[in-house]
Amino acid sequence: RSHMFKIEAHKTKSLEGDELTMELAKKHGCSYTDLTKVRLKFDSYDLDKSGLIDFLEFEHMIHQLLHCSTRSDLPKNRILRFWHEIDRDQNGSVDFQEFTDWYMKYFATAKQDGPIEAFYASFMPDFQRSHTLEALQEVIPAH
């Protein structure tokens, strides 16, 4: 009889996940299928399968997303900037909704502009994301 409760609890959790996925798909103007792919990405970065991404998992994830060949390719201050942005409630972990909002901001357009361009465009909200990295470099003074 206890197995019946486990099955019902799993169905309820799954339904909540489906409803959240539908809600996020509407919010971001994409299909349920697209958001399901984002969910699969989230799950692949959630290495301990806790349903949350902690900072160490996030570090691993950001290096993969930005195609860093070594850890030194991405300065710690940039990782922390991304972390503070993705962990909106500052509880030390990232849930699927936080991940989706952040991922869609930077990586949904990655096929079109690239993740690096999306990242730098985020520093200048008035600057259109359709600009290339070269256009951003013209606007940002050289050091």
Helix H, strand E, coil C: the string for 56-116 is HHHHHHHHHHCCCCCHHHCCHHHHHHHHHHHCCCCCCEECHHHHHHHHHHHCCCCCCCCHH
* Residue 19: per-residue pLDDT: 87
Residue count (the chain): 143
* Residue 100: per-residue pLDDT: 95
Please check the confidence at residue 4 and state whether its pLDDT lies above 80: no
Question: What are the φ and ψ backbone dihedral angles of 53, each rounded to 5 degrees?
Answer: -105, 120
Q: What is the mean pLDDT of residues 70-81?
A: 90
Tell me if 80 sits within 8 A of 58, measured CB to CB. Answer: no
Please check the confidence at residue 131 and state whether its pLDDT lies above 80: no
Question: How do residues 80-130 score in pLDDT, each as one tens digit?
Answer: 999 999 999 999 999 999 999 999 988 875 455 555 555 555 555 444 444
Q: What is the DSSP letter of 125?
A: T
* Residue 60: per-residue pLDDT: 94
Q: Is the pTM of this model over 0.85?
A: no
Short-list 28, 31, 30, 61, CA closest to 44: 61
Rg for the chain, CA atoms, rounded: 18
